[in-house]
Every structure is written in structure tokens, then in C-alpha cells.
Amino acid sequence: MTKKVKIAVIGASGYTGSDLVRLGARHPHIEIVYLTANSHAGKPMSGVFPHLAGLGLPDLIKNEEADWSKIDAVFCGLPHATSQAVIKELPGHLKVIDMSADFRLRDAQTYARTYGNEHIAPELQAEAVYGLSEHYRHAIRNSRLVACPGCYPTAVLMLLLPLVKSGLIDATDLIIDAKSGVTGAGRALKQNILFSETGEGLAPYAVGTHRHAPEIEQELSLAAGQELVVNFTPHLIPMSRGELITAYARLSGGKTAGDCKNALAERYADEPFVAMAPAGVIPSTQFVRGSNNVMLGVFEDRVPGRVVLISTLDNLIKGSAGQAIQNFNMMFGLDETCGLEQVALFP
């Protein structure tokens, strides 16, 4: 492709929106035409994010100021409960990559129960494709609206889907311990993410009620062919970005941790962004920070018949903006790695 795809980023003043802009600005097939952020309209992007100065970016505008006829694709980085109303009004020629939670849950009633408000665009939900890149390629390539998974579900599903599908683990007995950097809570001012509240500490939150649990259960249930409920507990860790999942599972009869490791290695052998941890190495957030990569690890538990499974990714990239661009690449027939070749930052 020689012609650049003209895009807009709605909600460009958030963390996911700004990371999308950072990656998109150097993507060889993207031309950023509009950046919207109603609360910052009229400001240069560098006035909100100084690290993006010098990239020739357009100033921020309000959504209604954009001429959508000049755009080929839209990335939406708005919070949940706001994307549906905005995307519903976009013209039908646009391809839409939504990074919010508004189209991730396939059932509108499940969405209403989970997020506390009615789904106002059920007609769009019917055409939305769940954007877990490595598992829904065919559907993503042929879609108009892609709902990018949440960061926790991406890390969990990349780890567990192949094992559940192959019957190597008991899908009815899953314990998922999740930890994320504070950018996962967004950029709005909240007491629990103030430095004095978060720094030098570690705290669980939304215990038993986190909104990503139904999303995880939705996809694992499809893989297992039965309704599943998982034990999922997230924690906030005092760093800006990064995510690590430790899952505990019961092995199916006669199966071993080695079987699980081999299954994951085989499933992702040709995936450019997924790697098994080398022998003797435990996955760490430092090994994927700043990249679109996922690192997986499998370890035999000291409890007989159980296995410890680990997954790590950058919550803002593979967990959001990077996966969004990966899906964009598929939707426009580009190489999946285009614009996502960054090597992880270490240390």
C-alpha cells in the first residue's frame, strides 16, 4: 500500500489515545488528520503531552468539528459508556477501532449489568468483532467495527484460551491474580491513584466485582463450550505501565505442566508478538515494557495436579493502543507488525 490511510483519534487526551498517537505518528501507512478531545479543544497536542512535540500533529478539536468524509478510519479512546453514543453517529464508510469497553461484551444485557447503563447501540453490537488479534484474525480482517479487548482480558486470554480449548486444564477451576500499573485507571484525577496513595504500596481493588471478569468469562466460555465463572482479583502496583497475570489451574487427568508449555509454544510459534519465556526465566513486566509483546511462562506447582501460568504485557500497548494498531493493520491488509516493531525498553 502506497496511499496513506487517513485517521482520526477520538479521545486523544487520555493515556491510550496518546499512546495511539505516539505509535501512529511513525506508522508508514497512517496520516493523522484529526485529534479530538472536547475538554482540551483548541490546544496543540504538545500542550497536553509535551513528549509529542515536533511530530507535526493537528491541534485538538471537538468531535463535532471533524469532517468525517475526509477520514478512512477512527480510533476511539473514550471511557466506557461514552463510545457507543459517539460511534453510533459516525458515517458507515468509516472503519472503527474502539479501545473502550462499550462493544466488547457480545450480549447487551450482560453489558448493562456489568457497566450499569443500557447499551444504546445494539444494532452495532451485532456487527462488532472482538479484537483479540491472534485469535480472531479472519473476523477482524473483514470487519468494520472492532472492539479491542481490555488489558487484563488480553493478558489472561492469550495465556488461557489455548489451554482451555485443548482441554489441558480444568476450566471450572481457575484462579487469576492480576496486577497492573496505575495508567490502567486512566488519566482523570482519582484519590486512589495519587502518588501518596499508591506509591510504596500494593493494593487489590474491585475484589469480586471487576468489570473485566465477564469479558474473560465470555471468551473462555466460548472456548470451553460451557458457561464458566473465574476467580479474578486485580491489584494496583506503583508503576506507570505494565501488567502481570499469575493464574493457577488444575491440570486435566494425566496432563502435565510440560504439556501446557508445549501447547502454548505450538499455538504461538508463528506469532510475531508472543513468546514463551526462555528456560529458567520467569516473565517480568520489564521484558515487554514499551512493546507490543506478550511473554508467557508455565511452571509446575508444588501442589500435585496443579500448574502456575504467567503472562505479562504492556497494558497501554498490547493491552490497548498497540493491539488497536495491530487490528488496524489487519483491517487494511497491512503486515500486522507495521508500526509496532519497537523492542521492549530494558531496564
Residues taking part in catalysis = 151
Question: How many CB atoms are located within 10 Å of the residue 198 CB?
Answer: 20
- Looking only at the bridges linking them, the beta strands covering 243-251 and 306-313 are antiparallel
Distances (CA, A) of 249 to 252, 300, 308, 312: 9, 10, 7, 17
User: φ and ψ at 175, to 5 degrees?
Assistant: -115, 120
Burial of 286 (0-12, 13-18, 19+ CB in 10 A): middle
* Phi and psi based region of residue 278 (left: phi greater than 0; alpha: psi -120 to 50; beta: remaining): beta
Burial of 21 (0-12, 13-18, 19+ CB in 10 A): buried
DSSP state string for 280-306: T----GGGTTTSS-EEEEEEE-SSTTE
| Nearest-angstrom CA–CA distance, 143 and 324 | 13
Helix pair angle (151-165, 213-224), 10° resolution:
20
DSSP E strands, the chain: 5-10, 30-36, 60-61, 73-76, 95-98, 129-130, 145-147, 169-180, 203-204, 231-236, 243-251, 274-276, 294-300, 306-313
* Phi and psi based region of residue 29 (left: phi greater than 0; alpha: psi -120 to 50; beta: remaining): alpha
Q: What is the DSSP letter of 88?
A: H
| Nearest-angstrom CA–CA distance, 142 and 156 | 25
